Amino acid sequence: MKKINELYSRKPREIKIIQFGEGNFLKPISYGDLDRFHAQDNLYTVSLRGKMNGETYEENRVITSVEKVLDIYQDYEEYTSLARLDSLEFVVSNTTEAGIVYDAEDQFELDRKSVV
């Protein structure tokens, strides 16, 4: 069987969206284990299944738009440097509710030297 990156290719793109977290939609990745994702050039398949117009529907879509995958624990400096990209338009959280916790001690402090 051929590998996904033998059947599809990915064009380099500017990074416009940063998504952090895996949520329930992506298979959870063990910390530091992005080798399989990188081995397929950041390509993956989304399987859509359900009913459409009363008929069984199934479609597999190969996602080719992921430019970079980082382990925030291993690549924190590179991850935070993404905030400096001129092309960046959106930051999206895909964490589950359990991954977002209110902390009354959190303070918003902008250090312009580290962001600009």
Does residue 108 lie within any of the structural domains?
A: no
Does residue 115 lie within any of the structural domains?
A: no
pTM beyond 0.85: the answer is no
Rounded CA separation 89/18 (Å) = 9
Rounded CA separation 80/84 (Å) = 8
Kindly give the confidence (pLDDT) of every residue in the chain, 116 residues in length, as a single tens digit, with 9 standing for 90 and above: 899 999 999 899 999 999 887 765 556 555 557 888 889 999 989 999 999 999 999 999 999 999 998 888 888 999 999 999 999 999 988 776 666 677 888 877 766 555 44
Does residue 116 lie within any of the structural domains?
A: no
Domain of 17 in residue numbering reads as: 4-98
Give the number of domains in the chain.
1
Does residue 38 lie within any of the structural domains?
A: yes
Does residue 18 lie within any of the structural domains?
A: yes
Rounded CA separation 62/91 (Å) = 22
